[in-house]
Amino acid sequence: MSVNVGRRLKEAGIKWVEEDAENKDVYVPTDEMKEKAYFSDERIYAEANNNPEEFWAKQAKELIYWFDEWDADKVVNLEPPYFNWFVGNGTNLSYNCLDRHLEENRNKAAIIWEPEPEDEAHEVLTYMDIYREVNKFANVLKHLGVKKGSPVTIWMPMIPETAIAALACQRIGAWHSIVYTAFAPHAVRERMEDAGSKILITVDGFYRRGKIIELKKRIDEGEILEKVGAENCVVVRRANSEVGMKEGRDHYYDKLMKDAEAYCEPEVITSNDYGFLLYTSGTTGKPKAVMHSCGAYSVGVALTMKLVADLHPDDLFWSTADIGWITGHSYALYGPLLIGATVLWYEGAPDYPDVSRWWGIIEKYGVTIFYTAPTAIRALRAAGDEWIEGHDFSSLRLLASVGEPIDPDTWKWFFEKIGESRCPLVDTYWQTETGGILLSSLPGIGPFVPGVAGPALPGVRYDVLDANGEPVKQEESGYLVVKPPFIPSMLRGLYKNPEKYVEEYWSRYGTDTYFSGDGAIKTGMEIGGQTLIKVTGRIDDVMEVAGHRLGTAELEEVVQDLEEVVDVAVVGKQDAIKGEVPALFVVLEKGVEKSNEDMDREIVKAVRDKVGPVATPEVTYYVSDLPETESGKIIRRFLKGLVRNELLGDMTTARNPECLKELAEVTQYRGPQKIPGYTGTAHLGNE
Ligand code: WT7
């Protein structure tokens, strides 16, 4: 099968059109790609933007099955900063992902699962398979006391039961809160406490880089279930590793499933209900729970699946993102199943047993659409082209990237080596908060410009504003914002934290302008009257480490808690593979006897225990003072400039600018700013 698909699609693709003075390559889709794509006429932008509500209403009717139609005159109810789409609707995500495909596609593969151990057989789950298991598990959850609106914490890897658990929550209207497996048990605890979750679904263990990661054991070692007063813990047996099971509280998934009833009526989820919670890092303190809707979220996800991923029912879609992140939710689970396509899930690491694993998977199953992150592409590219040689990529017809800006070098390598210079490569910009893709060129319309995300989706009003809220001119930079009526898939609020919701997104420019937190440039290029945007990255204190969002404040809290630490500041340092890595500046207590190496070990341990391995600091600089404002606020922009060898900016804003000399020394600053007293040779060589 894959051979035929490959041959047919080989014709599709994109062609190179021009190279302008700035050496920007611009690509457009070929006629074959246009023919295949759902959307290939740029007039869609004008049509949708003339009347966004009508556009979204039309899409909503086509893409989603509604038990209750919404009020015809209430497509969106705007009460900034709150809004509600398709008011009066009733729907269910599990019904839309499963039940409605049964009649025609009962036996079609929904999820193809590739376990990490190569000697273990892959599994194919049909729509009927998942439907059956989801119904049963929904009944299990009900028996355990889970109701509509109950938070259910899931700490699970990329295995089929994770999809089943999430869809079972959707079926009964419970809110899943899925925690990334590379976070620490402590992070599970924080999220369970914050949400008031009384149930955890996890696994005995799973495979990662040839090792078994024992999740339940780690939960027990941290006494997490006791600390949060959990009433139930469901344990899926994946690795058959030894686990402790507490009578009455801990249950094996397979045992519960044995006696579960076969059918569970899907709950009607309305426009006033929520669909799920997902914790994400912000600018201060602890992660907060983004609340998503059900129906409006599904519309955004299903539409982008067609618009941007051009997902057809005969495609095999692979999003490499983990289910613990929004990309995993929207594009590894709900999106593909809403469309009735087939999605690939892979349990393990990209470089196990060697760095050709992903390329082998694409070839083995005939993946047609491949969605991944720049950090992964950079890592696989750095390993050397010999790992891709001999692999057959002819099944691929579209590539997509997400998580951070993809630099033109990486873009070209991905495009040429994996996409064989014929697959469009779309750079999709979005956030946990937007639920689905916000900016991207469309595969059948283009253009595809390395380093440039593209315009917003049709029907989305967006802009780049300066500090005063004025739109910037073409080729100038500012902050990316979204204007009313926003997009249906956007967050509905932050759970139990309305103040923070307003502060993070609606305070910079007022409540009718959504502030993304990202810097952006208007490129001067247009499609369908819409300006293509280049996103430059976060302007707040949020880092993107290997595409994973981390708040500097979160790490600071953990390190600050150590006895020897007086003060700490964390900034993102550039990294060739991971994009950004955490760099720490630490002021130690006077007279600490431990060596810096011992302190390093302690700090790394604390971070790994409290936040998780994803947040492991790259480097810690021990210094005697940190630059502060008169009011005692640490000036992070100096620290960022130092580790990135960039300009620091006006140093007179600091109460104690003299400390910068020492900081420049420890960081071996080589940037353009002159720092009084600092005579680092590297700096002088740079002048
Ligand atoms: C932040 C959101 C959306 C799923 C993955 C991350 C950055 C994301 C791009 C892109 C430039 C990007 C932004 C954004 N980002 N995609 N294509 N180009 N930047 O979700 O953890 O909520 O992080 O990721 O800075 O604000 P997230």
Residues 429-453: tens digit of each pLDDT: 999 999 999 999 999 999 999 999 9
402, 406, 434, best to mutate for ligand 1 pocket (most atoms within 8 Å of CB): 402
With CA atoms as reference, report the closest residue to 496 among 195, 146, 274.
195
Q: Is the CB of 580 under 6 A from ligand 1?
A: no
Distance 464 CA to ligand 1 centre (A): 16
Q: Is 375 in the pocket of ligand 1 (CB under 6 A)?
A: no
pLDDT by residue (tens digit) across 377-423?
Answer: 999 999 999 999 999 999 999 999 999 889 888 999 999 999 999 99
Read out DSSP for 637-671?
Answer: HHHHHHHHT-----GGG-S-TTHHHHHHHHHT--S
Where residue 344 falls among pLDDT bands split at 50, 70, 90?
very high
From the list 492, 682, 593, the residue with the least C-alpha distance to 84 is 492
pLDDT at 82: 96
Q: Residue 497's Cα: distance from chain center in Å? A: 21
Is residue 20 very low, low, confident or very high in pLDDT (cuts 50, 70, 90)? Answer: very low
Q: Where are the domains of the chain?
A: 129-258, 544-667
- Check if 403 has its Cβ closer than 6 Å to any atom of ligand 1: yes
**Average pLDDT of the residues in 657-678:** 93
- Residue among 535, 540, 542 to mutate when testing ligand 1 (max atoms within 8 A of CB): 535
How far is CA 440 from its chain centroid?
15
For the domain covering 544-667, report its CATH number. Answer: 3.30.300.30
Atom of ligand 1 nearest to the CA of 538: 25
634 — pLDDT class (breaks 50, 70, 90): confident
Q: Work out the pLDDT band at 24, boundaries 50, 70, 90.
A: low
60-75: average pLDDT: 93
Mutate to test the pocket of ligand 1, among 281, 430, 542 (most ligand atoms within 8 A of CB): 430
For residue 1, what pLDDT is reported?
A: 22
Q: Which of 11-20, 92-101, 192-201, 418-427 has the lowest mean pLDDT?
A: 11-20
Chain centroid to Cα 593, Å, comes to: 42
* Per-residue pLDDT at 687 exceeds 50: no
Atom of ligand 1 nearest to the CA of 427: 17
Question: What CA–CA distance (Å, rounded) separates 657 from 673?
Answer: 13
pTM: 0.90
CA distances from residue 341 to 101, 308, 318, 335, 407 in whole angstroms, order as listed: 10, 15, 11, 9, 31
Compute, in angstroms, the gap from residue 440 CA to the centroid of ligand 1: 12
What does the pLDDT read at residue 3? 23
pLDDT in the model for residue 21:
39
CA distance 151 to 199: 8
Nearest Cα residue to atom 3 of ligand 1:
431
- Check whether 14 has a pLDDT greater than 50: no
Phi and psi at 277, nearest 5°, equal -115, 145
Tens-place pLDDT, residues 111-149: 999 999 999 999 999 999 999 999 999 999 999 999 999
Structure token digits, residue 197: 């979750």
What mean pLDDT, rounded, does the chain reach?
92
Tell me if 355 sits within 8 A of 383, measured CB to CB.
yes
The pLDDT confidence band at residue 18, using thresholds 50, 70 and 90, is very low
Tokens found for residue 115: 């376990």
The pLDDT score that the predictor gives to residue 491 is: 98
pLDDT at 7 over 50: no
pLDDT at 650 over 90: no
For 370, phi then psi, to 5°, come to: -125, 120
The answer, yes or no, to whether any atom of ligand 1 lies below 6 A from the CB of 378, is no
Atom of ligand 1 nearest to the CA of 406: 18
Q: Which atom of ligand 1 is nearest to the CA of 401?
A: 17
CA proximity to 397, closest of 312, 303, 300: 312
Q: What is the dihedral of CA 553, 557, 558, 561, to 10 degrees?
A: 160
Taking phi first (over 0 means left), then psi (-120 to 50 degrees means alpha), and beta for anything else, what does residue 44 get? alpha
pLDDT in tens, 477-512: 999 999 999 999 999 999 999 999 999 999 999 999
Estimate the crossing angle of helix 659-667 against helix 636-644, to 10 degrees.
30
Q: Tell me, which fold does domain 129-258 have in CATH?
A: Rossmann fold (3.40.50)
Tell me, letter by letter, the H, E, C secondary structure of 85-150.
ECCCCEECHHHHHHHHHHHHHCCCEEEEEECCCCCCCCEEEEHHHHHHHHHHHHHHHHHCCCCCCC
